Amino acid sequence: MHKIGILGAAGIAPRSIIQPANRRKDTVIHAVASRRPGAAAAFAEKHGIIKAYESYEAMLADPEVGIIYNALPPAGHKQWSIAALKAGKHVLCEKPIAMDAKEAAEMVAVAEQTGRILMEAFHDRYHPAFLHLMELKTSGRLGKLKSVKAEFYVGIPFDPKSIRHDPSQGGGAMMDLGCYPVHWVRSIMDAEPEILSAEGTLNPLGVDQSMHVEMRFPDGTPATVIADIANPPFRGLLRLEGEHGIVELDNPCLPHRGHSIREWLDGEPYHEHTLGADTTYDYQLAAMVNAIDTGKTPITGGADAMGNMIAVDTIYRASGMRQS
């Protein structure tokens, strides 16, 4: 039985880890830790979790916990993921994996030293809808790609107290949201991009509320990435245009909440369809358990996590919002 501990009594945890774990026979949510007085106990009682800890250190010292789900803001990812790895735990860390590529590299190094699994929580990467687009590309049915476009919009009203708008906690459109479409195009291309240009708009705290990025991959394929937290409603799109056709996926991030795959392929009738029965989080937890059981690096493991963070850092530098 894989026993999971949750770092942070986070609002995302019920759908991202608790419910998927409860649907499996080989996983259980064993503990939760929060430094807010009483928060862990209340969270544990609400969700039927066995143990509640008022310090992260205490939960990491629990010998029964084998997997840590790090649901803290990005500013807490490096410190507490490394602490968990050194405590002998496997770590599923929320995205983005760190505040920058340097932190990500330190985390990956510790995972390698300890022989533990470190996996970034890009849950969408494991869903059949995304895997279908990957197969269309790798099989050659689209031919050589002519362009890739990835857009993600989520209306998040400005709140100076929200971590999503706080640069010190890893907020901003590219960190909180744009890491997804960057990951989509990197995954589709199976390569690292050259960032050609990046232009963002700022909120009153000086963090990006939108970002428009132009990039190019080693084979010459151009790609556009747009991330926006100030322009509702929620919408996402991944579009691949190849020599032999076009495919579009609506809602690549949360396809289990409704998605559409549209295909215009040479010699085939127009096809619109959906795929998958479980949530992205179910597929993600299955991948995490499989990585632990087999010892194989997951798709969103160390090298991939570092590649995504390097791209995000480069985008910020290209936009002028970071100097290093």
Predicted confidence (pLDDT) per residue in 152-189, tens digit: 999 888 887 787 878 777 888 999 999 999 999 999 99
Active site residue 95: yes
State the pLDDT at residue 324.
61
Of residues 34, 45, 46, the one with CA closest to residue 5: 34
The pair phi, psi for residue 297, each rounded to 5°, is -65, 130
**Domain's final residue, options 86, 121, 156:** 121
**Domain's final residue, options 93, 121, 149:** 121
84 falls within a domain: yes
pLDDT tens column, 102-123: 999 999 999 999 999 999 999 9
**Cα(300)–Cα(119) distance, rounded to whole angstroms?**
6
State the pLDDT at residue 6.
98
State the pLDDT at residue 159.
81
Residue 111 burial by CB count (10 A; 0-12/13-18/19+): exposed, middle or buried?
Answer: buried
State the pLDDT at residue 276.
82
Please report, for the domain that includes residue 258, its CATH number.
Answer: 3.30.360.10
State the pLDDT at residue 204.
85
Q: Are residues 147 and 33 in the same domain?
A: no
Q: Are residues 111 and 138 in the same domain?
A: no
Of residues 242, 292, 229, the one with CA closest to residue 27: 292
- At 258, the amino acid letter reads G
**Cα(45)–Cα(31) distance, rounded to whole angstroms?**
11
State the pLDDT at residue 164.
81
Instruction: Look at the chain and report how many structural domains it folds into.
Output: 2
8 falls within a domain: yes
List the chain residues with pLDDT less than 50: none
Strand ranges in the chain using DSSP code E only, listed in sequence order:
2-7, 27-33, 51-53, 67-70, 90-93, 118-120, 145-153, 194-202, 208-216, 222-228, 235-242, 245-250, 260-265, 271-273
Choosing from 95, 102, 146, 296, which is the catalytic residue?
Answer: 95
Query: Tokens at residue 47, please?
Result: 């969700």
H-helix or E-strand spanning residue 162: none
Q: Give Rg (Cα) of the chain.
A: 20
Is residue 217 helix, strand or coil?
Answer: coil
CB 238 within 8 A of CB 150: yes
Q: Are residues 137 and 66 in the same domain?
A: no
**Domain's final residue, options 96, 121, 146:** 121
Q: Is the dihedral of CA 280, 282, 283, 289 positive or negative?
A: positive
H helices present in 265-320, as ranges? 280-294, 302-319
Range of 273's domain? 124-319
Q: Are residues 90 and 187 in the same domain?
A: no
Residue 115 burial by CB count (10 A; 0-12/13-18/19+): exposed, middle or buried?
Answer: exposed
